[in-house]
Chain A
Amino acid sequence: MIKAENIRKSFGEQEVLKGVSTIFEPGKTNLIIGRSGAGKTVFLKLLVGLLEPTSGSIWYSDTNFTSLNTKQKKAIRMQIGMLFQGSALFDSMTVEENIRFPLDMFTNMTKKEKLDRVNLVLERVDLTGTNDKYPSEVSGGMQKRVGIARAIVQKPKYLFCDEPNSGLDPKTSIVIDELIRDITIENNITTVINTHDMNSVMEIGENIALLYKGNLAWQGNRHEVLESDNELLQDFIFASPFLQRLRDRALKE
């Protein structure tokens, strides 16, 4: 479980987050949604420790992450896997080397054990046989799946995804969404996804937090989205006229 308590973040005079408090539950796909500039990416970076909050605290289970020093944070970070918006794969390394990197750096596994583990996660993300390819030689969707494989290779307890569907076509987006959801359930990990993909919200959103101008404007699950009368939520989710018509039809039924 991850808990954020009254998180504030300012960059100079500009206050980006204005006291956000929420809980992200294990075994669930927790989504952070909101318009561009709402503070989603800043919030995600605060959760993983890439930024320090101006005030407030972040808890990983019973540990106050924000009060830890760099060395202590490292111990928590070893339990974190993260998929970045652009996948952040290392260009000079093959797919196998990318996925194996955390094992090379932090374990004393034998070569065979590492290879077995890499092949296992490659199979899980349906990329068997791509070991020797470089990131530039695979598609955007495949890069995301390699990113997921690298994020889960050390069996993390927490998985963070920053706009995992960014730049992907709708069909591939669904594949990525389902992969993230299945991994979350299989391993009972706490997954936090930063997205503004409405399909993700409606298909896999089990705990959805809407950020608006640095505040938590709404929280609930995907079933509650349709029934909520929160104007900010309705404006955001059903911004497109097409989705408005779908919503109206669903409500009628």
Chain B
Amino acid sequence: MKYIEDFGKYVLLLRSAIFARPEKFSMYGKEILRQMHDIGIGSLVIVAIISAFMGAVTAIQFAYQLDGGFIPMYYVGYIVRDTMIIELAPTVTCLVLAGKVGSNMAAEIGGMRQKEQIDALEIMGVNTASYLIMPKIIAALFVIPLLVILAAFLGIIGGYIAATGTGYITGGQYEMGLLSFYDPYFVFMMIVKSIVFAFILTSVSCYQGYYVSGGSIELGKSSTQAVVLSDILILCADYVVAMILT
């Protein structure tokens, strides 16, 4: 019953956040830009590192498996490309961002709730659900797909460096693989996934923070819950999107 109640509260919160008219567009615009900076610029390093290593590990492990077999080695480039684009870039990147960005959002909003800053905004006449949550969702929907595209690109580069650096394949073979069997539809899938996952991780994290009550322990729990729930929902959504789009 609690899950049904939570889902209902979540839907009502999103309705207040998304379908309300902003009090002042310029203030919301400033907040969106601030969030885009925090989510985008603040996550560049971790996304770059994770995606480069994902690509590198994928390349090496597949190169090892293909070595000496019947499948041509240039397939390494093809496999790294599609694995990064279809799955690793959108899913793993968003799982990591749920931890970094999502927990931060839950803690920020939860902290505001505990320090009565949300009450102060309500008294002033601000629609707090809209002002605190909508800019975060809009910023995430714009920035996270860009981060995912960057992740895919850096993953492919990481794969190139790892595979050629270890001598498994030559640069030419890797590039041949990158150009083989390319289907732009997979990029479309990647972007759809990243948009869906961005919405999930932002809205769920904001919900967790908005309704926190109690002290620091509850705040910590809500931040953790935001990450866990976002991760589970991202993986479920991954399956659903894959079913629909393939």
List A residues at the B interface (Cβ < 8 Å).
48, 50, 74, 77-78, 80-82, 84-86, 88-91, 101-102, 104-106, 160
Minimum distance in angstroms from A126 CB to a CB of chain B? 22
Contact between A50 and B122 (Cβ–Cβ < 8 Å)?
yes
Determine if A50 and B125 form an interchain contact, defined as CB atoms under 8 angstroms apart.
Answer: no
Q: A89 to chain B: which residues have CB within 8 Å?
A: 117
Q: Report if A77-B123 is in contact (Cβ < 8 Å); known contacts: A86-B115, A88-B117, A90-B117.
A: yes
A-B contact pairs, 26 of them (CB 8 A): A48-B123, A50-B119, A77-B123, A77-B124, A77-B125, A80-B123, A81-B123, A82-B120, A82-B123, A84-B119, A84-B120, A85-B116, A88-B115, A88-B117, A88-B119, A88-B120, A101-B124, A102-B124, A105-B24, A105-B27, A105-B124, A105-B126, A106-B23, A106-B24, A106-B124, A106-B125
Using CB atoms, name the residue of chain A closest to B28.
A105
CB distance from B125 to the nearest CB of A (A): 4
* Cα-based distance from A74 to B123 in the complex (angstroms): 8
User: How far apart sit A85 and B114, CA to CA, in the bound complex (Å)?
Assistant: 12
Whether A84 and B116, one on each chain, are in contact in the complex, defined by CB atoms closer than 8 angstroms, is yes
Q: Is the interface of A mostly helix, strand, loop or mixed?
A: mixed
Residues of B participating in the A interface, judged by any CB pair closer than 8 Å: 23-24, 27, 115-117, 119-120, 122-126
Q: How far is the CB of A101 from chain B (nearest CB, A)?
A: 7
Chain B residues near A106 (CB, 8 Å)? 23-24, 124-125
Is there an interface contact between B23 and A105, defined as CB atoms closer than 8 Å?
yes
Complex formed: what's the CA distance from A58 to B128 in Å? 23
Q: How far is the CA of A81 from the CA of B24 in the complex (A)?
A: 20
Q: A77 to B121: give the CA distance in the assembly, Å.
A: 10
CB-based nearest B residue for A45: B119
Return the chain A residue nearest B111 by Cβ: A91
Residue A88 contacts which of B23, B24, B116 (CB distance < 8 angstroms)?
B116
User: Which chain B residue shows the least CB distance to A154?
Assistant: B124
Q: Name the residue in A48, A88, A104, A106 with the highest tally of chain B Cβ atoms < 10 Å from its Cβ.
A: A88
Among the listed A74, A86, A104, which residue makes an inter-chain contact with B27, where contact means beta carbons less than 8 Å apart? A104
Cα A39 to Cα B124 in complex, Å, equals: 23
Bound state CA distance, A105 and B130, in angstroms? 13
In the complex, residue of chain A having the shortest beta-carbon distance to the beta carbon of B26: A104
B119 touches A78 (CB 8 A): no
Q: How far is the CA of A78 from the CA of B124 in the complex (A)?
A: 6
Residues of A within 8 A of B24 (CB): 104-106
Q: How far is the CB of B149 from chain A (nearest CB, A)?
A: 29
Residues from chain A with Cβ under 8 Å of B115 in the complex? 86, 88, 91
Contacts of B123 in A (CB 8 A): 48, 50, 77, 80-82, 160
Q: Which of A78, A84, A90, A104 contacts B125 (CB 8 A)?
A: A78
Q: Which A-B residue pairs are the 7 nearest by beta carbons?
A: A88-B120, A88-B116, A77-B125, A84-B116, A82-B123, A74-B125, A88-B117
- Return A140 CB to nearest CB of chain B, in Å: 14
